[in-house]
């Protein structure tokens, strides 16, 4: 259905059967994803009570609260361990862990503990995100993006944060820093040039935002990347 979801570490994507889909790594960083394919037999062998978990697949992009993320990460580690194990009862434990995973997701969805990014609001946010990616090298204001989405700036600001989990300025800076990191790694442009190409009004501001995001200075980042090569 041509929906676009920008995902980050800890997000969960649920794809119903027969839905065409693809994944693209836009920023070029190394990433790891865990894919679990469910067949019809998996749910047919479950108790009737567990079949309600199929409701989870009516939602695509799920952002879990931090407390649930830790629980989910622990479950994924257990799932991977049993999947790669030949020990007795590994298949039983594997199935139990997967059912537990879906149960946590189901409970979170229907107790309104999570942000679902497959509703009408998401279409608006997608439009805003596309605008940011196409214009991150320029000055971008809240009013400007809100106008693109035909919304009041105050309402749009709340909607954006509720949907993405971060405010508009932080999101714009994240996009700018991702692109700056690529330029630092792949070009010989000066830090001043890169800061300007990525939409920062001055190099000091760029250096401060970069260090806060990456934990090291832009210069140190470039040196470490060159050493890796």
**Which tens digits make up the pLDDT trace of 130-148?**
899 889 999 999 999 999 9
User: Is 80 exceeded by the pLDDT of residue 110?
Assistant: no
H or E element that contains 225: helix 218-228
Higher pLDDT, 184 or 115: 184
Q: What is the pLDDT of residue 224?
A: 87
Taking the C-alpha atoms of residue 11 and residue 69, their distance in angstroms, rounded to an integer, is: 8
In this structure, what token pair is assigned to residue 56?
């989870």
Q: What is the pLDDT of residue 79?
A: 92
Higher pLDDT, 163 or 200: 200
Segment 48-71 shows an average pLDDT of: 68
Q: What is the pLDDT of residue 95?
A: 87
Taking the C-alpha atoms of residue 64 and residue 93, their distance in angstroms, rounded to an integer, is: 24
First to last CA, the chain: 40
Taking the C-alpha atoms of residue 180 and residue 186, their distance in angstroms, rounded to an integer, is: 10
pTM, two decimals, is 0.51
Q: What is the pLDDT of residue 67?
A: 63
Taking the C-alpha atoms of residue 213 and residue 229, their distance in angstroms, rounded to an integer, is: 23
User: Is 60 exceeded by the pLDDT of residue 113?
Assistant: no
Q: What is the pLDDT of residue 111?
A: 62
Q: Which segments of the chain belong to CATH 1.10.10.60? A: 120-228
Superfamily of domain 120-228: Homeodomain-like (1.10.10.60)
Segment 218-228 shows an average pLDDT of: 84
């Amino acid at each position: 259905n041509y929906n676009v979801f920008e995902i980050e570490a800890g997000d969960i994507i649920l794809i119903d059967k027969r839905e065409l889909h693809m994944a693209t790594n836009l920023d070029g960083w190394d990433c790891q994803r865990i894919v679990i394919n469910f067949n019809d037999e998996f749910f047919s062998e479950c108790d009737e009570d567990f079949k309600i978990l199929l409701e989870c697949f009516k939602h695509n992009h799920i952002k879990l609260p931090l407390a649930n993320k830790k629980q989910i990460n622990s479950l994924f580690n257990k799932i991977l361990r049993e999947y790669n194990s030949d020990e007795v009862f590994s298949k039983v434990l594997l199935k139990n862990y997967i059912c537990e995973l879906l149960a946590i997701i189901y409970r979170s969805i229907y107790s309104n503990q999570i942000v679902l990014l497959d509703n009408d609001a998401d279409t608006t946010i997608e439009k805003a995100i596309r605008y940011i990616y196409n214009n991150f090298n320029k000055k971008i204001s809240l009013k400007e993006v809100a106008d693109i989405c035909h919304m009041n700036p105050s309402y749009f600001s709340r909607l954006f944060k509720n949907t993405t989990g971060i405010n508009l300025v932080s999101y714009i800076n994240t996009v700018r820093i991702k692109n700056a990191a690529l330029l630092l790694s792949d070009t010989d442009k000066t830090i001043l040039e890169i800061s300007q190409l990525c939409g920062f009004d001055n190099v000091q501001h760029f250096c401060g935002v970069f260090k806060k995001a990456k934990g090291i200075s832009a210069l140190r980042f470039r040196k470490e990347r060159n050493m890796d090569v």
